Amino acid sequence: MAGRGKTLLGALVALVASATLAHAQQCGNDSAGFEAWKGQFAQRAASSGIGQRGVTALQGTSYATRTISADRKQGGGFTLTLDQFLERRGGNAIVSRGTQLKRQNADLLARIERVYGVPAGPLMAIWGMETGFGGFLGNENILSAVTTLAYDCRRSEFFSGHLMGALQLVDQGNLDPSAKGAAHGEIGQTQFLPANVVRYGVDGDGDGRIDLINSRADALASTANFLRGHGWRAGAGYQPGEPNFAAIQGWNAASVYQQAIAMLGAQIDAN
């Protein structure tokens, strides 16, 4: 596997540091100040090393009203039991399809486990739960969604870092400015936020690019690298109370989601 372990860290530290400065800029709760804010952020981005391709892509973004609507609905948390959550998510179907895909991608998954220590089960569970194994990656323009959230006052500082990451990905040719993703700008088959692609994205298929949208090898290898980056230890268990469950907790903050990944992953690994 070419480019094993190679990430896009580059100038990320400087970019994120400059993104925090953008928090001091005038955020907004509607579209009124969006264009002016973009102009200010573009200057920050350029001074932080973002090239013309990234700056031009930023200038082409639009205020994502559906993203804001989805974001406003967040905050209630998960109220379902684990059984209810699995039924709603189609847990049995994920295990069935995940087992089939594990067999079809045996060589790839074996390589990933050798490099990152993560077995197929949790990777298949995450892949299935996030996008139905790549069946639906979202219908929002990724860059517009992240730009809108960086401008919005609710979580401006957090998403400013992800916007800098997205612009870096555009600059490097690893994200098309027209690419579609989830409502909060999550990218690809396992739904990475942009700065996490910069930190953990790897070239799993050896083509010289990191493409989490079109390459399942890149998406799965990057997901394994994320888990390793959150403390995954090869050979250790990943059920609640076992060492690697903490890495799964790093993937999603919701307890029921974490338990679902562990349970479905174990069932897939057992088949």
The whole-chain average pLDDT of the chain stands at: 91
Specify which residues 187 forms β-bridges with. Answer: 192
> From CA 113, how far away is CA 269, in angstroms rounded?
12
What pLDDT shows up at residue 46? Answer: 96
Fold of 12-73+140-188: Helicase, Ruva Protein; domain 3 (1.10.8)
Residue 13: pLDDT above 50?
no
pLDDT in tens, 106-158: 999 999 999 999 999 999 999 999 999 999 999 999 999 999 999 999 999 99
Radius of gyration of the chain (CA): 19
What are the boundaries of each domain within the chain? 12-73+140-188, 82-137+200-270
Q: Which two tokens stand for residue 187?
A: 């990218």
> From CA 64, how far away is CA 79, in angstroms rounded?
28
Residue with tokens 């400059």: 18
User: Where residue 15 falls among pLDDT bands split at 50, 70, 90?
Assistant: low
**Yes or no: domain 82-137+200-270 corresponds to CATH 1.10.530.10:** yes
CB count in 10 Å sphere of residue 221? 31
Q: What is the DSSP letter of 28?
A: B
DSSP 90-142: THHHHHHHHHHHHHHTHHHHHHHHHHH---HHHHHHHHHHHHTTTT---SEEH
**Prediction pTM value:** 0.89
* Angle of CA points 50, 54, 58, to nearest 5°: 120
